[in-house]
Structure 1
Amino acid sequence: MLPRMEIRIRPALEEDRQAVMALAARLAEGVAAWRDPEAAVDAGRQWLAGSLDATRERRGEVFVAVEGDEQRVVGVVSVNQQRHFTGVTDAYVGELAVAPDAVRAGAGRRLMAAAEAWARRQGLRHLTLETGAANTTARRFYAALGYREEAVRLTRSL
């Protein structure tokens, strides 16, 4: 049984940057076996840094899940606006990562609820995201929240 965590969601602060960046490795889970895992972690770091920087320019929001009185960051989600190829602007989750010891403690669900609330406040009708095809845990998580698969990306090694 998991220990009970008291998790709160709030906008990320500059002081959270190091703790948020420490979650980057979680973004590499589910990457195809033929991809370089270190490059995937580096990309995750760049995405998180870019999302944190974008909040200063009001181009989206980053929320963190914090636990306990010490406000330990146990999860992060970024959300912004992205134009779908049909021309409609959707909310888009760029990154969702939860610390291993906070998985199944409600942090992911609460972070996604914060992203959805942000999207509604922007007047957007859809929230989209991407995850690795091999990341079956994430795909089951999103399906349980009501997300449906919309596109499939295919790759052939040469």
Structure 2
Amino acid sequence: MDVQIRPVREEDRHAVMELVSQLTEGVAEWRDPDAVVEAARQWLAGYFTPAPEQSGAVFVATAGGEVVGMVSVNTHRHFTGPEEAYIGELAVAPHAVRMGLGRRLLGTAEDWARRQGLRHLTLETAAGNTTAQRFYAAVGYREEAVRFTRVLE
């Protein structure tokens, strides 16, 4: 498959918003998957029209003119002080998984972070998304923190 990775454009909006539904895999049973999708869509909406003050980026993977993957990357400050890069979303179309797109999209986000002069790139995934956890570990990401939640009745 001939895949190109490039910055997102307005004409990619619909395809990117469709990919966001992939982000519900492994979400905790007490979280609303529709709310996860809506939050991601709202966060991504600002990246379709680049602005000079925009601190992050969204990249898409295209094959045959179709958007088959996306990654969003931004900056945030770690609680210990340093600014880091942070991947908000990484999604690949179901028919395009296991073709190396995730690795290439992560590589693009890593290159973006290096160009910003950042030394760390972090991300989060759902505790139940063991597929993603194995993937991130296989490409060199290490677990740094574990988050616990108690549902209050």
Fold similarity call, TM over 0.5 = yes
Question: Does 1:140 find its partner at 2:134?
Answer: yes
DSSP-derived class of the 1:58 partner: coil
Structure 1: runs of 5+ lacking an equivalent: none
CA deviations on 1:74-96 (whole Å, 9 max, x unpaired) are 01101111100010011111111
AA matched with 1:127: L
Identical-residue share of aligned pairs (%) = 68
1:11 to 7, 13, 25: 7
- CA shift, 1:53, in A, is 5.0
Q: Tell me what 1:112 maps to.
A: 106
Question: Does 1:32 find its partner at 2:32?
Answer: no
For the aligned residue pairs, the C-alpha RMSD in angstroms reads 1.4
Q: How many residues align?
A: 151
Whole-angstrom distance in 2 between the partners of 1:122 and 1:87 = 16
Question: Does 1:75 find its partner at 2:69?
Answer: yes
Segments of 4+ moved more than 2 angstroms: 53-58
Q: Tell me what 2:80 maps to.
A: 86
Whole-angstrom distance in 1 between the partners of 2:49 and 2:128 = 29
Q: Is the 8 A contact 1:55 1:62 kept in 2?
A: no
- CA shift, 1:48, in A, is 2.2
- CA shift, 1:54, in A, is 7.6
Q: Is the 8 A contact 2:61 2:70 kept in 1?
A: yes
Distance 1:127 1:116, change over 3 A: same
Distance 1:25 1:84, change over 3 A: same
Whole-angstrom distance in 2 between the partners of 1:133 and 1:89 = 25
Whole-angstrom distance in 1 between the partners of 2:95 and 2:68 = 8
Q: TM-score, normalised by structure 2?
A: 0.93
Q: Tell me what 1:61 maps to.
A: 57
Q: Is the 8 A contact 1:24 1:48 kept in 2?
A: no
DSSP-derived class of the 1:59 partner: coil
DSSP-derived class of the 1:113 partner: helix
Whole-angstrom distance in 2 between the partners of 1:143 and 1:151 = 14
Q: Tell me what 2:117 maps to.
A: 123
Q: Is the 8 A contact 1:47 1:95 kept in 2?
A: no
CA deviations on 1:62-82 (whole Å, 9 max, x unpaired) are 1000002xx200011011111
Q: TM-score, normalised by structure 1?
A: 0.90
DSSP-derived class of the 1:152 partner: coil
Q: Tell me what 1:97 maps to.
A: 91
- CA shift, 1:60, in A, is 1.0
